Structure 1
Amino acid sequence: MNVFGVVILLTLFVTFFMKVAADILNLRASTGDLPIEFQGVYEPGAYRKSQEYLKTTTWFSLVTSLFDLLLLLVFWFSGSFDLLDRFFRGFGLGEVPTGLLYIGSLLFLQVIAGLPFTLYRTFVIEERFGFNKMSPVVFVGDMLKSFLLAVLLGAPALALLLWFFGYAETSAWLWAWGAFMLISLVLQYVAPTWIMPLFNRFEPLGEGELKTAILQYAKTTGFPLAGIFVIDGSKRSSKANAFFTGFGHRKRIALFDTLIANHTVDELVAVLAHETGHFKKRHVLINMMLSMINLGIIFFLLSMLMQNRMLFDVFFMTDVSVYGSMVFFMLLYSPAEFLLSIFLQMLSRKHEYEADAYAVSTYSNGVALADALKKLSCSNLSNLTPHPFYVFLNYSHPPVCDRIRRIRQLSGNGISSPN
């Protein structure tokens, strides 16, 4: 076992045990004491249900993570990476077609291995706690659509990447970086119109108080909108959400029907004011730039380790290849990816606070955002008292009670009294 193998194994075990430690600490931080902000909002029975949901999903996640780790180790040390490679090389195809088959088969095997866990979470756990609204027909349809998109969009992109690193030599990473930045930008425009409607129905929001309030707020803040749409999220889950899509004058608001059903007009506009804050504070642009920089670093480092014999020896590979380099490099890159994810989570939490502040300062009833967060937390059975270490590793949003306290302070209301 050379240095590459030691780094990969050490990273796999360290990250796994850090996750276990964070999960255990998070469970211990879950108490029976309802935070003051939620008194009168969260019924005692519903709060106990949220804690049971936390325990159930946490242990299920740990079992799933352990299974994934053991599966990778068994596949690795049984020499299956090499067996699969020799099988596809036997067809006598070129580097690019063989690479597509090799990487595609690994991804397919990963999906199949995880399918029982996905089914159990969706149709047992989420069903038990009243979230799942998805029928088996919709579930299968989503899987088939995802597979079709992977073939039509993912396969050509992967083939292009394999071609660049196979034939462009030292400048391969620059060509790949430029091409994938262009592809990602195109997808930002294509996804709202062609891809997302494959999974959900988007209907224009009808005339009424809500639409008038949203348009008035958008006009006040100089935020151009190409449309306001309602998504049939209720056909999959009772959980609620809202988001913006598109850029420039093609920006759209997408509201889940479950969100509209459970919130007042003021609360909905406050949520959209928060999302507007992300655009106004350039959070979307910052995240996109960081993502592109990270992609460039990945391609550059990949080019440095392309077809490195030591890396292939770690996985008992007979032959070196471009596609094998990609697979094994991503396992080697995991420590950097793990550290980067922690940094990005910290930045995301900062951005959420900034977007909250923007909503409070620009909407006449910005404090309604706190009420919206309360309702969302209750309906989603969110954990109200997460452990700081768990937040540090996993949370892209600050804990809801911290957000509510800041919103109250910014609005000058202090801590609210129980409703």
Structure 2
Amino acid sequence: MNSSTLFYLLISILIISFIIDKILDSLNAKHFNDKIPAELADVYNELEYKKSQEYKKTNEKFSNFTATFSIILTLVFFFANGFKYVDNFARSFTDNSIFVALIFFGIIMLGSDILTTPFSYYKTFVIEEKFGFNKSTIKIFWLDKLKGWLMSIFIGGAILAIIILFYEKTGENFWIYAWFLVAIFSLFINMFYAKLIVPLFNKQTPLEDGELKFAIEKYASSVGFKLNNIFVIDGSKRSTKANAYFSGFGSQKRITLFDTLINNLNTNEIVAVLAHEVGHYKRKHILFNLASSLLLTGLTLFILSLFINSPLLSEALGVSTPSFHIGLIAFGILYSPISEITGLFMNYMSRKFEYQADNFAKETFASKPLISSLKKLSKNSLSNLTPHPAYVFMHYSHPTLLQRVKNLGS
């Protein structure tokens, strides 16, 4: 295979991926007007259902526009030898390969973010605002952007620099050291995400003593789940949508409730949601997901080590000087079909785990409050109650609301 053939293979992968996504979106959109299943008839009244349909259609049109803009921009960048010009620009500052890579990716990421920020702004302050979800302010929006940039520079940049250093020092065996680095970082983030990352964006406060805390502690004790940390996060500063999640291990594990969840659900419903989260912990789903992620990362890095030395990857993108960062771009595109397949497997396992966690909540607490909480959360987020099965198979990490309600009621 020569560089020209590889170039058009990369282009083909990008275009085919775009077409498949748009076909799935189109299939899903055809179900927007379907009649609500009898089991979910109490989720929306007629006016609310019309609002949810409008929300889905608005988002679908917006998604089609942004995706089309993105693929056109990407193709123009490829055919105009954009990677070559950015690489030359980075090399005009330094000969150090690590600094060249950092400048290169910095320019690519900053340019991409500048071009997509107007879409993000429109999504937040026009679409989400129109349907009553947005609670963010312009100040919060730009502060989030700035914090995200800084995290990408310091954390992402540091990891990239160390991996390139491993590559230069150990050659084709760099993937072993890179895998170890990513594993340590992943474990660290899983342990301390709530303490180190979340406070940069949200305020967390311990759940106050009262009926809810007592009910949660009583349930946790009944299933042998030691829980000392229950926090409330101010999700309402950005959106009316509600959530709850479990994080950490051992003494660092904690349950975090969005204040919007507390405002929208009653005590039994909140305990049922937490019972579901405890089910994930008890059934070892968190450990499975972490182990699977690390194994897939190791596989990806190993395959990368087999190809990264080939100058063909750089030549395919129009860059005459072979380098790790250019090879990484080409490899990322070539690997994307494999990534899609592993993603399908992980989504399948995730949906299976959701059933197991639901069953755990049903067996150790009750099914009715979990069903009512799921329906309320779907209603409050104007969720799609009738998605196309192919779209669910490809994209959903959770079963549909109808599937979960049927399972809980069985």
TM-score between the two structures when normalised by the length of structure 1:
0.95
Contact 2:315–2:322 under 8 Å retained in 1: no
Residue matched to 1:367:
368
Alpha-carbon offset, residue 15 of structure 1: 1.6
Contact 1:8–1:332 under 8 Å retained in 2: yes
Measured on the aligned residues, the alpha-carbon RMSD in Å equals 1.3
**1:68-83 pair list within 5 angstroms:** 68-83=70-85
Contact 1:2–1:310 under 8 Å retained in 2: no
The worse-fitting range, judged by mean Cα deviation, of 233-242 and 156-165 is 156-165
**1:341-352 pair list within 5 angstroms:** 341-352=343-354
Alpha-carbon offset, residue 140 of structure 1: 0.7
**1:105-124 pair list within 5 angstroms:** 105-124=107-126
Residue matched to 1:235:
237
Q: How many residues align?
A: 408
Residue matched to 1:244:
246
Residue of structure 1 aligned with 2:294, choices 292, 296, 306: 292
Contact 2:205–2:233 under 8 Å retained in 1: yes
Alpha-carbon offset, residue 152 of structure 1: 2.3
Contact 2:347–2:395 under 8 Å retained in 1: yes
Residue matched to 2:409:
408
Secondary structure of 2:230's aligned partner: strand
Indicate yes or no: 2:384 matched with 1:380.
Answer: no
Contact 1:204–1:229 under 8 Å retained in 2: yes
Contact 2:13–2:333 under 8 Å retained in 1: no
Listed as ranges, the gaps of 5+ residues in structure 1 are: 410-419
1:306 is matched by which residue type in structure 2? I
User: What is the identity percentage for the equivalent residue pairs of Structure 1 and Structure 2?
Assistant: 41
Residue matched to 1:338:
340
Alpha-carbon offset, residue 10 of structure 1: 2.4
Secondary structure of 1:84's aligned partner: helix
Listed as ranges, the gaps of 5+ residues in structure 2 are: none
1:100 is matched by which residue type in structure 2? L
Alpha-carbon offset, residue 2 of structure 1: 4.3
Distance 1:393 1:41, change over 3 A: closer
Residue of structure 1 aligned with 2:134, choices 132, 135, 146: 132
Alpha-carbon offset, residue 116 of structure 1: 1.0
Residue of structure 2 aligned with 1:273, choices 272, 275, 284: 275
**1:12-411 pair list within 5 angstroms:** 12-363=14-365, 365-409=366-410
Alpha-carbon offset, residue 33 of structure 1: 2.1
For 1:4 and 1:271, locate their aligned partners in 2 and report how far apart those are by CA, in whole Å: 49
Q: Deviations over 1:310-334 (max 9, x none)?
A: 2222211121111211122111111
Q: Deviations over 1:95-130 (max 9, x none)?
A: 111111111211111111111110111111111111
For 1:328 and 1:359, locate their aligned partners in 2 and report how far apart those are by CA, in whole Å: 45
Contact 2:230–2:255 under 8 Å retained in 1: yes
For 1:96 and 1:22, locate their aligned partners in 2 and report how far apart those are by CA, in whole Å: 40
Q: Deviations over 1:166-215 (max 9, x none)?
A: 22112211011111101111122232112111101001111111100101
Secondary structure of 1:240's aligned partner: coil
For 1:99 and 1:120, locate their aligned partners in 2 and report how far apart those are by CA, in whole Å: 32
Alpha-carbon offset, residue 84 of structure 1: 0.8
The worse-fitting range, judged by mean Cα deviation, of 222-231 and 266-275 is 222-231
Secondary structure of 2:280's aligned partner: helix
Residue matched to 1:413:
none
1:68 is matched by which residue type in structure 2? S
